[in-house]
């Protein structure tokens, strides 16, 4: 275990104690916690409302793929008791209402400045504080800079010329207009079939005159089986919430779920099929993957589950050629994030819906009239880009974060993110990243991982304050060891074999590497706690 080193404190005082970037789920909770410490805290939020992911992604069908009574804050037993979720899987508007309720209940709004994007932050090595600049011309100095800027924040487009030439409206799913989009009687083109595409396609199909879906890589989508929650279910969960929340915090992925004990290869094909059928009918994103211990570690085991899902696609989609195009064959099941769908595959049985395979006929350009592939021009009146994000690192590298010696985070991460525990990095003192790269983050229930990071950061800040310490920074040695450990754990899985946003492969030119920590939220939490218990081992403290 690395050890911490200490030097003398500084006495100067910056304009504020902490700046938090982002007023989504992480930023709101971080504000609350720093306030409890009595810190002067300012939150900057680029949007004109709070909510982060749940503010920006308001396309039709946007919905969480973790159950609502699991994907919510756990820090307040009173909040757990008073808020009532209406559906098994909450829709984006309901989650946004919940976050508004949290902001009001804990009186968070006065410290949040909306419509203000942090564009640059420079570390002053003499004063030992950050100078933060915004797009509204504000500049202020702060001891701590906490990036609560999210994992999927910076949208990316289809990387072909001509989007600006398109004559009709163009909407990215992550920048959906508040007033909605009229599809009735229109010819709609949707590019992208990840979680956002899978959720919006069935709803757009209900209204559009024609819908063309452009698919580069098919996904494995499982049925959500969403429905209203019954009063009895809500009451039962509320009665056991304290134990349930505690179990979530101890769990591998932030949800309380049965874990497998056997290999897929040690049972008969019939037994496996029955197990997969039972898992399929749970309507839980990870249920099939949790059927056996080795589905994310052994390609042969994985193929049994992959083929099961393909069988479901074949039995849903009437046209065998379309079913085959929708069937993933180029990467193992679960190595790109699977989707939870409501009627996605069945949508392709509708006569006005067409699937275009961009692997055999690549996207060439967007024209004024539609989408041109290598084979033909597909006319459209409305263009929907469900093309995803520069995930995990984009929100951090698009800001000019300038650390020691004038080195930017962009430069430091030119060959991929280098972090200590995904919480911070060498050369960037007092900069914390909530659910940062190489932490479990997107592989877990984000609500639980966010709380774990926010609480760890808060404890760390308390430790510094109580000890009259000014500066904390991961050491280069500790972060090298963490990066190597994260890569080694990822290397034991099938994850790196897929071209996905988990590895940076979705953004042309982005360095490849597995961007999250797949060792389990339980193991990771223990590691973070041990670091803190050992006086912040692996950090230099000044
Ligand atoms: P995504 O998973 O990255 O999907 C983007 C889609 O656009 C993919 O099909 C991708 O194809 C395609 N695409 C990207 N660039 C393209 C190009 N240049 N040409 C053609 N096709 C292109 O993004 P997302 O659907 O927005 O989802 C991102 C993540 O957000 C999810 O994995 C999930 O973690 C989260 N999310 C969650 C929910 C939920 O809770 N239910 C809903 C939405 C999003 P390739 O696969 O070939 O790259």
pLDDT digits (tens, 9 = 90+) for 149-202: 999 999 999 999 999 999 999 999 999 999 999 999 999 999 999 999 999 999
- Centre of ligand 1 from the C-alpha of residue 470, in Å: 41
pLDDT value at position 11? Answer: 58
Q: Minimal CA–CA distance to 474: which of 530, 417, 432?
A: 432
Q: Which helix (H) or strand (E) holds 364?
A: strand 363-366
DSSP 8-state class, residue 441: G
Assess whether the C-beta atom of 378 lies below 6 angstroms from ligand 1.
no
Assess whether the C-beta atom of 510 lies below 6 angstroms from ligand 1.
no
| Residue 261: strand, helix, or coil | coil
Which residue is closest in CA terms to ligand 1's atom 14? Answer: 387
| Residue 320: strand, helix, or coil | helix
- Centre of ligand 1 from the C-alpha of residue 321, in Å: 23
In degrees and rounded to multiples of 5, residue 138 shows phi and psi of -75, 150
Assess whether the C-beta atom of 213 lies below 6 angstroms from ligand 1.
no
233-284 pLDDT, tens digit each = 999 999 999 999 999 999 999 999 999 999 999 999 999 999 999 999 999 9
- Centre of ligand 1 from the C-alpha of residue 154, in Å: 12
pLDDT exceeds 60 at position 9: no
Assess whether the C-beta atom of 342 lies below 6 angstroms from ligand 1.
no
Instruction: Determine the residue of 95, 388, 509 to mutate for testing ligand 1's pocket, defined as the one with the most ligand atoms within 8 A of the Cβ atom.
Output: 388
pTM over 0.75: yes
- Centre of ligand 1 from the C-alpha of residue 192, in Å: 6
pLDDT value at position 212? Answer: 98
Instruction: Determine the residue of 445, 506, 515 to mutate for testing ligand 1's pocket, defined as the one with the most ligand atoms within 8 A of the Cβ atom.
Output: 506
Cα–Cα distance for residue pair 56/151, rounded to 1 Å: 13
Strand ranges, E, within 108-261: 112-113, 118-124, 129-134, 139-147, 170-172, 187-191, 210-215, 221-223
102-117 pLDDT, tens digit each = 999 999 999 999 999 9
Cα–Cα distance for residue pair 536/28, rounded to 1 Å: 25
DSSP 8-state class, residue 392: T
Which residue is closest in CA terms to ligand 1's atom 28? Answer: 388
Taking only Cα atoms into account, the Rg of the chain, rounded to an integer number of angstroms, comes to: 23
pLDDT exceeds 70 at position 10: no
In degrees and rounded to multiples of 5, residue 244 shows phi and psi of -60, -45
pLDDT value at position 5? Answer: 44
- Neighbouring CB atoms inside 10 A of 107's CB total 10
270-324 pLDDT, tens digit each = 999 999 999 999 999 999 999 999 999 999 999 999 999 999 999 999 999 999 9
Q: List Cβ neighbours of 510 (8 Å cut-off, separation of 6 or more).
A: 390, 393, 504
Q: 12 falls in which pLDDT band (50, 70, 90)?
A: confident
137-151 pLDDT, tens digit each = 999 999 999 999 999
Residues facing 87 on adjacent strands? 228
DSSP 8-state class, residue 338: P
- Centre of ligand 1 from the C-alpha of residue 386, in Å: 6
- Centre of ligand 1 from the C-alpha of residue 388, in Å: 4
- As a whole-number percent, the residues of the chain with pLDDT over 70 amount to 98
- Centre of ligand 1 from the C-alpha of residue 128, in Å: 40
- Centre of ligand 1 from the C-alpha of residue 216, in Å: 10
- Centre of ligand 1 from the C-alpha of residue 492, in Å: 25
Cα–Cα distance for residue pair 203/478, rounded to 1 Å: 48
Indicate the domain borders of the chain. Answer: 3-154+391-541
Assess whether the C-beta atom of 453 lies below 6 angstroms from ligand 1.
no
Assess whether the C-beta atom of 358 lies below 6 angstroms from ligand 1.
yes
Closest ligand 1 atom number to CA of residue 216: 47
- Centre of ligand 1 from the C-alpha of residue 173, in Å: 10
Q: Minimal CA–CA distance to 285: which of 198, 384, 172?
A: 198
Assess whether the C-beta atom of 60 lies below 6 angstroms from ligand 1.
no
Report residue 72 as tokens.
């919510």
Assess whether the C-beta atom of 176 lies below 6 angstroms from ligand 1.
no
Which residue is closest in CA terms to ligand 1's atom 3? Answer: 388
Cα–Cα distance for residue pair 209/92, rounded to 1 Å: 26
Evaluate whether the domain defined by 3-154+391-541 bears CATH number 3.40.50.2300: no
Phi-psi region of 535 (alpha: psi -120 to 50; beta: other; left: phi over 0): left
Assess whether the C-beta atom of 362 lies below 6 angstroms from ligand 1.
no
Residues facing 214 on adjacent strands? 191, 356
Cα–Cα distance for residue pair 208/197, rounded to 1 Å: 15
| Residue 449: strand, helix, or coil | helix
467-523 pLDDT, tens digit each = 999 999 999 999 999 999 999 999 999 999 999 999 999 999 999 999 999 999 999
Query: CA–CA distance from 468 to each of 126, 333, 427, 461, 471 (Å)?
Result: 17, 50, 21, 10, 10
- Centre of ligand 1 from the C-alpha of residue 322, in Å: 20
């Amino acid at each position: 275990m690395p050890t911490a080193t200490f030097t003398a404190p500084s006495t100067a005082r910056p304009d504020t104690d902490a700046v938090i970037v982002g007023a989504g789920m992480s930023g709101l909770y971080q504000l609350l916690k720093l306030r409890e410490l009595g810190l002067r805290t300012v939150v900057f939020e680029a949007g004109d409302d709070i909510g982060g992911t749940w503010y920006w992604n308001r396309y039709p069908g946007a919905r969480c793929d973790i159950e609502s009574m699991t994907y919510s804050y756990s820090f307040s037993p009173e909040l757990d008791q008073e808020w009532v979720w209406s559906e098994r899987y909450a829709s984006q508007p309901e989650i946004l209402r919940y976050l508004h309720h949290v902001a009001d209940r804990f009186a968070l709004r006065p410290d949040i400045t909306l419509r203000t994007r942090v564009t640059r932050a420079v570390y002053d090595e003499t004063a030992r504080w950050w100078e933060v600049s915004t797009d509204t011309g504000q500049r202020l100095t702060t001891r701590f800079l906490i990036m609560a800027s999210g994992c999927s924040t910076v949208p990316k487009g289809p990387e072909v010329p001509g989007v600006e030439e398109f004559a009709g409206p163009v909407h990215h799913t992550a920048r959906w207009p508040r007033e909605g989009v009229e599809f009735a009687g229109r010819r709609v083109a949707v590019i992208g079939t990840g979680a956002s595409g899978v959720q919006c396609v069935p709803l757009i199909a209900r209204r559009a005159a024609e819908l063309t879906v452009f698919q580069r890589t098919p996904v494995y989508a499982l049925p959500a089986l969403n429905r209203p929650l019954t009063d009895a279910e809500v009451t039962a969960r509320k009665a056991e919430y304290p134990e349930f929340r505690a179990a979530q915090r101890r769990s591998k992925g932030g949800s309380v779920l049965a874990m497998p004990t056997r290999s897929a290869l040690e049972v008969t094909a019939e037994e496996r099929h029955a197990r997969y059928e039972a898992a399929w009918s749970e309507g839980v994103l990870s249920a099939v993957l949790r059927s056996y211990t080795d589905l994310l570690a052994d390609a042969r085991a994985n193929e049994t589950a992959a083929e099961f899902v393909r069988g479901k696609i074949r039995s849903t989609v009437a046209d065998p050629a379309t079913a085959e195009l929708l069937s993933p064959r180029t990467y193992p099941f679960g190595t790109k994030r699977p989707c939870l769908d409501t009627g996605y595959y069945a949508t392709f049985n509708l006569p006005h819906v067409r699937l275009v395979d961009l692997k055999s006929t690549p996207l060439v350009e967007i024209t004024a009239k539609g989408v041109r592939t290598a084979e033909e021009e597909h006319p459209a009146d409305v263009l929907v880009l469900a093309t995803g994000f520069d995930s995990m690192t984009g929100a951090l590298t698009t800001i000019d974060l300038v650390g020691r010696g004038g080195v930017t985070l962009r430069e430091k991460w030119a060959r991929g993110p280098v972090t200590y525990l995904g919480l911070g990095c060498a050369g960037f003192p007092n900069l914390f990243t909530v659910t940062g790269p190489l932490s479990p983050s997107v592989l877990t229930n984000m609500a639980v991982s966010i709380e774990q990071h926010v609480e760890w950061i808060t404890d760390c800040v308390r430790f510094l304050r109580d000890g009259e310490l000014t500066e904390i920074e991961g050491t280069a040695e500790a972060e090298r060891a963490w990066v190597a450990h994260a890569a080694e754990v990822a290397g034991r899985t099938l994850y790196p074999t897929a071209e996905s946003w988990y590895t940076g492969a979705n953004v042309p030119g982005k360095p490849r590497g597995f961007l999250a920590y797949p060792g389990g939220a339980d193991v990771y939490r223990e590691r973070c706690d041990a670091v803190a218990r050992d006086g912040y081992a692996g950090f230099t403290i000044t």
